[in-house]
Amino acid sequence: MHRFAFLLAFWPAPLLADAPRVITDIAPIHSLAALVMGDLGTADLLLPPGADAHDFALRPSDAERLGDADLVIWVGPELTPWLADPIATLAPQATQLPLTASANWTPLTTHDGEIDPHGWLDPMIASGWVSDIATALAAADSENKAVYMANADKTVTMLTALNDDIQSRLRGLDQSGFIVPHDAYSYFESMNDLEHTASIADAHAHAPGPGHLSEMRDLVVSNDIVCVFSDAEIGARWVDVVIEGTDARTSVLNGTGAGFDAGPDLYEAMLRQMADAFAQCLGD
């Protein structure tokens, strides 16, 4: 028996397959990928939490990390058109997973008639995208398929509970008008039967012109706007111009994970913070 145990100690252990090298675009998608990967590996992240996905310049180190990837998980060219060429050029060997191409969601359109790519702000859409992420990971690492699928099932259960909690929290909110900083929050609004009156900027967070700001201010004065939200992309300066001298409240929306550590906990914390912002600004 002792001799057998001694031999086992020197027997080569079976080699475990390495998890694919995964890189994601924005922090909320990185968080979903981290939940699916679990302990099997760590996804890389191109844009830090809170970075403006509409206007970001890749650094040489970012290009190097992109070039090392086996799997690129990104929202899609509707959110970051500037990322399509670097992926094709720097990571031709990588499998791409653009989530806006998924069959597991029904996209909304912006006020300009374009596909609204901000689907991660609805936990039930995120659930569909989690299934896509698990399928892509399993295709790249078939030996760990069962783990990815089990982690995806757990994540979907968490997202369903999160969806129910947020809907319960925001049910019955004041339906008076509110203005969003840019046209990016319709999925979160739709899941909670809310609809903004106007947006300070368009879906691409382009800076508003003086004429549009004047229109927003007129809306606040004449249409019982109770809240004007800001966010990291637009900032508070335009909101201050719009609400100056009025009774409108303001709060900050955070759809990109600003202020949170990147990782599996970010997504849920970010959505709960957004629910808090709506409850505080539109509540009694």
The full set of domain ranges for the chain reads: 22-167, 173-282
pTM above 0.95, yes or no: no
Q: What is the pLDDT of residues 166-192, one digit of tens each?
A: 999 999 887 679 999 999 999 999 999
Among the four given CATH numbers 3.30.70.580, 3.20.20.70, 3.40.50.1980, 3.10.20.30, the one describing domain 173-282: 3.40.50.1980
Between CA 53 and CA 73 the distance in angstroms is 14
Reading the block at residue 127, the tokens are 């659930």
Q: Specify the pLDDT at position 173.
A: 83
CATH code: domain 22-167 is: 3.40.50.1980
Q: Check the CA dihedral 197-227-189-48 and report its sign.
A: positive
Between residues 254 and 236, the one the model is more confident about: 254
Task: Rounding to the nearest 10 degrees, give the CA dihedral for residues 103, 108, 114, 119.
Answer: -70
Same fold, 22-167 and 173-282: yes
- Dmax (CA) of the chain: 89
Amino acid letter, residue 62: D
3-state secondary structure 12-59: CCCCCCCCCCEEECCHHHHHHHHHHHHHHCCCEECCCCCCCCCCCCCC
Percent of the chain at pLDDT exceeding 70: 93
Between CA 160 and CA 168 the distance in angstroms is 12
* Cα–Cα nearest to 48, from 71, 24, 66: 24
Contact (Cβ atoms closer than 8 angstroms) between residue 142 and residue 18: no
- 27-37 and 145-170 are packed helices; what angle lies between their axes, rounded to 10 degrees? 130
CB burial string 22-36: b at 16+ within 10 A, e below: bbbbbbbbbbbbbbb
Q: What is the mean pLDDT of the chain?
A: 91
Per-residue pLDDT band at 11 (split at 50, 70, 90): very low
Between residues 18 and 107, the one the model is more confident about: 107
Q: Which residues pair with 182 in a beta bridge?
A: 201
Between CA 135 and CA 132 the distance in angstroms is 5
Between CA 256 and CA 81 the distance in angstroms is 17
Q: DSSP assignment, residue 122?
A: S
Q: Specify the pLDDT at position 233.
A: 82
Q: What is the pLDDT of residues 199-234, one digit of tens each?
A: 998 878 788 888 998 999 999 988 789 999 999 887
